[in-house]
């Protein structure tokens, strides 16, 4: 019974967080971040101020729910789609989804908001969620010899994520003026060339 009650509480908690997050996203589509108040968010989500403060201390924390949602999306939706193909194809596909998530599912305004120097969630546990999906593919690539490097799988995953986040940041500074998905594909293709065995490197 305790497990059932805990599961029910967790589900209710996630549903409330989702309502607050989607309310915040709707407001961000209508106005600037600085013009959105906590009262605006709770009014749109139809919850009380007290409920808000049960979960968050600031309005920015609501927008950081994007990471919980992204981790769930990559673990539950994207990962099963990356089970086929070569290791390189699977890594390329992972970053296709990453670019799509950054440019289409969250959109430019939201991505700009998240890409700030105070965001510590870029450094969350790499073995979970989104980066965990990439890490599994890289481990497999190293085990099979499809990737070669003196670096660990964790180091390769971090290098690729930092590099691609830099590209996304550049896209943000250019106000989304170029195709992020196409640029990410070219960028990652060049980065991965470093980790190919000599027999697989382009001449």
Contacts of 94 (CB under 8 A, 6+ apart): 78, 82, 133, 134, 137
pLDDT (tens digit per residue) in 6-45: 688 888 888 999 999 999 999 999 999 999 999 999 999 9
Residue partners of 2: CB distance under 8 A and separation at least 6: none
Name the DSSP letter for residue 166. H
Q: Which of 102, 41, 92 is nearest to 67 (CA)?
A: 102
CA distances from 182 to 27, 53, 100, 103, 134 (A): 29, 41, 10, 11, 19
* Average pLDDT of the segment spanning 182-194: 95
Q: Which of 96, 201, 94 is nearest to 157 (CA)?
A: 94
Query: What is the model's pLDDT at position 3?
Result: 45
Query: Are the C-beta atoms of 70 and 129 separated by less than 8 Å?
Result: yes
Residue 101 has pLDDT above 80, yes or no: yes
Least confident residue range of 81-90, 103-112, 166-175 = 103-112
DSSP letter at 149 equals -
Own/partner pairs, 23-27, CB within 8 angstroms, 24+ separation: 24/59, 24/62, 24/63, 25/63, 25/110
User: Is residue 153 within 8 Å of residue 138, measured between CB atoms?
Assistant: yes
Which of 46-55, 103-112, 132-141, 183-192 has the least mean pLDDT? 103-112
What is the average per-residue pLDDT within 123-146? 94
Mean predicted lDDT score pLDDT of the chain: 92
d(CA 177, CA 18): 30
Secondary structure class of 145 (helix, strand, coil): coil
The phi, psi pair for 139, rounded to 5°, reads -55, -45
Q: What pTM does this model have?
A: 0.87
């Amino acid at each position: 019974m305790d497990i059932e009650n805990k599961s029910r509480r967790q589900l209710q908690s996630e549903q409330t967080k989702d309502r607050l997050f989607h309310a915040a996203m709707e407001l961000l589509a209508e106005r600037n971040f600085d013009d959105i108040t906590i009262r605006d968010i709770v009014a749109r989500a139809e919850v009380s101020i007290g409920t808000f403060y049960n979960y968050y201390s600031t309005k920015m924390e609501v927008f950081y729910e994007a990471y919980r949602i992204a981790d769930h999306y990559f673990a539950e939706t994207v990962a099963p789609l990356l089970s086929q193909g070569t290791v390189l194809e699977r890594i390329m596909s992972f970053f296709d989804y990453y670019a799509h998530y950054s440019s289409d599912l969250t959109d430019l305004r939201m991505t700009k908001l998240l890409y700030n120097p105070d965001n510590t969630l870029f450094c969350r546990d790499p073995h979970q969620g989104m980066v965990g999906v990439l890490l599994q593919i890289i481990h497999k690539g190293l085990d099979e010899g499809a990737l070669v490097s003196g670096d660990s799988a964790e180091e390769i995953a971090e290098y690729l994520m930092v590099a691609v986040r830099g590209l996304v940041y550049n896209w943000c500074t250019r106000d989304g003026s170029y195709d992020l998905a196409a640029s990410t594909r070219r960028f990652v293709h060049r980065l991965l060339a470093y980790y190919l065995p000599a027999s697989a490197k382009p001449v």
